[in-house]
Amino acid sequence: MLNSLDLEGRPQDTRVVVAMSGGVDSSATAALLKSEGYDVVGITLQLYDHGAATHRKGACCAGQDIHDARNVAERIGIPHYVLDYESRFRESVIDNFADSYASGETPVPCIECNRSVKFRDLLATARELGASALATGHYVASRRMSDGSRALICAADADRDQSYFLFATTREQLDYLRFPLGDMTKQQARDLARRFGLTVADKQDSQDICFVPTGRYTDIIGRLRPNAIEPGDIVDLDGRAIGRHQGIVHFTVGQRRGLGIASSAPLYVVRLDAASRRVVVGPREALRMDRIMLRDVNWIGDGAVDRAVSDGLEIFVRVRSTRAPQPAWLRAADGGYEVELVAGEEGVSPGQACVFYDAPSGQARVLGGGFIQSATAKSATARAAVKALPLVEAMRG
């Protein structure tokens, strides 16, 4: 007989580790599972030197958050442990974040944290504790398929869906992970927290990158990778210098504000060239890309990825966490994989994730995804047409 977590056995005979960040979502998850009779163990990860972030609103995993998680665990009557993961977090997430920015990318550190520190290291710890599952407060769902495997599904609350940040979850990890809030709204989670008398019921959601307590990520990059803060040229699409900048880490593809260039026509960051320290700018038309080359592709759809894409697979892709999924084709190319966007997309930035879905909306299934390595316009003709736009004349006003 399966219990509410789709596991064999009675809840009281089933140990579940809950990753407790100190926020309302993970706290409600722990309280809900405890109320259902599960043998719940709460674990909070100390991921970085949290002293500077203790009193900063919107920062996660900070000193106050550890304190809140401990209080919730005491309130609902479960054992709670704080594990020092600072060194592995620094190596897997912070160093990777700095390297990515220094190479001209725009990384998503939450993805790396989920796939390595949480779903690799913490998951292993949960197994060592004899747990049958690791539960988190992520807004995403999983479903058992006919073959017994589990599929990753978008959350019922589209405004809270976190599937973009979990695309790198493997099939083996999915078998062990559980997401009790996947079919709830944020308001329902807060109502749960109130029902269980948790003081975090109205706690503000974390917003910043957790290891950037000042909100200025360039401070960390400057300390870890000083070469990424070196000045360089801002150039147009023809390579002509039209300004100077104080480091490519201050820019991201699609950026319009803060370029420091006087122009009668709007200019956008089209590309970052780390090797030459150049920021390439152009009109909005130059942002539209049609093909995306991917690296580190993770496939959690049916069967093997090569068989699935043998003749091209029609999918829907999200190229930024805030974008809606767009129709596309996934194909094998040059020993890797590429995505062809049916209608094109603006501001496709290397380092961001390109996540695959089987539907454009609703509780779609996540088929996997990869990190954007590069993006191009569909044809040389299209690129030439963009390049020929009267940018210099527009700047002269």
Asked whether the beta carbons of 289 and 339 are under 8 A apart, the reply is no
Q: Does the active-site annotation cover 210?
A: yes
Asked whether the beta carbons of 353 and 371 are under 8 A apart, the reply is yes
What pLDDT, on a 0 to 100 scale, did the predictor assign at position 262?
Answer: 83
What pLDDT, on a 0 to 100 scale, did the predictor assign at position 205?
Answer: 85
Residue 391 has pLDDT above 70, yes or no: no
* Average pLDDT, rounded, for the chain: 90
Alpha helices in 55-156 (DSSP H): 63-76, 86-89, 95-102, 109-112, 123-128
pTM, full prediction: 0.90
pLDDT in tens, 39-55: 999 999 999 865 544 44
Q: Which of 271, 280, 287 is nearest to 239 (CA)?
A: 280
- Report the C-alpha gap between 178 and 16 in whole angstroms: 9
pLDDT in tens, 371-384: 999 999 875 444 44
What pLDDT, on a 0 to 100 scale, did the predictor assign at position 264?
Answer: 81
Across the range 88-106, mean pLDDT stands at 93
pLDDT in tens, 171-230: 999 999 999 999 999 999 999 999 999 999 999 887 667 887 667 888 888 889 887 789
- Report the C-alpha gap between 273 and 248 in whole angstroms: 8
Q: Which of 165, 331, 352 is nearest to 152 (CA)?
A: 165
Given 110, 113, 154, 354, the catalytic residue: 113
Asked whether the beta carbons of 342 and 327 are under 8 A apart, the reply is yes
